[in-house]
Amino acid sequence: METTELESPPSLTALYGRAVVVPVLPGGGDELPDRRLVLRDAEVREEHVAEYARVCGFGLANEVPGTYPHVLAFPLHMSLMTDRAFPFSVLGLVHVVNRIEVLRPIAVGARLDVCVWTEDLRPHRRGRQFDVVAEAETGGSVAWRGRSTYLKQGGGNGDSAPRRDDREAAGELAACAEWRIPGDVGRRYAAVSGDRNPIHMHSLPARLFGFPGAIAHGMWTKARCLAAFDGRVRSPYTVEVEFRAPLLIPGRAHLRSGGADRDWAFRLESPDGERVHLAGSIA
């Protein structure tokens, strides 16, 4: 795999501009590029972690929240997926699954070597999917790993994978919180994460993409759920979610959870229980 070392984080503003332009330019292939990006000595700044914690609902601590390194890796995600060699337009991709492994604590103030690559292009019932893998090293070993699975819709066979009935699963999880989610949470998360996809920030562009209004970032939703377990989760652990349905903002949502010891299951759903926004687990 070809490795490219970056001197600084890519500009997300420039990358979003490139995301619009690249699909109309010639180039690109049928396979994922055999390339990885490395950003060395990325700083985990105290004020940035604190703002991220406030937006996502975490308490302040000497260690970063488990979802925080994703925001350091995200510019590298975008850089790979907006390259002309990439086979899909990033504007048409759907983030369907996210898995994070916290292998050991990352201290606020640490310096991280962040590495990102893509792999495992494979069929999906609604098209094709692939993974963007990110690792964060400190002290010479991997402390954190994230795997974001994206779906390119179109050309699938339409067969539904077996899934346990949502209502049956909901009966095993107790309602533990009701959240009123403000309409500015998309803009606040965008400011701290750099993920300024307009469908999360304003209703008008969201409607242009087929949504009734602005929707919450998937990774904010995951982080907010993980924050609900603050004080009960210790590394090493894995937190994985499947994104099911968009969460309109402003809005309301119910969190259900259940489990014992270090293993938990959770779901975020609409107040009437008819829509599941995400389903996840901590192990």
The CA distances from residue 37 to 33, 77, 81, 118, 256, in Å, are 11, 9, 11, 10, 38
The model carries a pTM of 0.93
* Alpha-carbon span 106 to 110, nearest angstrom: 7
Interatomic CA distance for residues 208 and 97, integer angstroms: 24
Mean pLDDT lowest among 13-22, 28-37, 140-149? 13-22
d(CA 249, CA 183): 5
Question: DSSP assignment, residue 213?
Answer: S
Which pLDDT tens digit goes with each residue over 70-83?
Answer: 999 999 999 999 99
Question: What dihedral do alpha carbons 35, 41, 46, 50 form, nearest 10°?
Answer: 0
Please, how many CA atoms are within 13 Å of residue 62, restricted to the half-sphere of its CB?
0
Q: Give the position of tokens 């995200």.
A: 74
119: exposed, middle or buried (C-beta count within 10 Å: 0-12, 13-18, 19+)?
Answer: middle
Average model confidence (pLDDT) for the chain?
Answer: 91
pLDDT digits (tens, 9 = 90+) for 152-206: 998 766 554 545 445 445 558 998 899 999 999 999 999 999 999 889 999 999 9
DSSP state of 92: G
Taking each helix axis from N to C end, the angle separating 185-193 and 69-81, rounded to the nearest 10 degrees, works out to 80
Q: Do the Cβ atoms of 134 and 116 come closer than 8 Å?
A: yes
What percent of the chain has a predicted confidence (pLDDT) above 70? 91
| Percent of the chain clearing pLDDT 90 (strictly above) | 76
pLDDT of 208-235, one tens digit each? 888 999 999 999 999 999 999 998 998 9
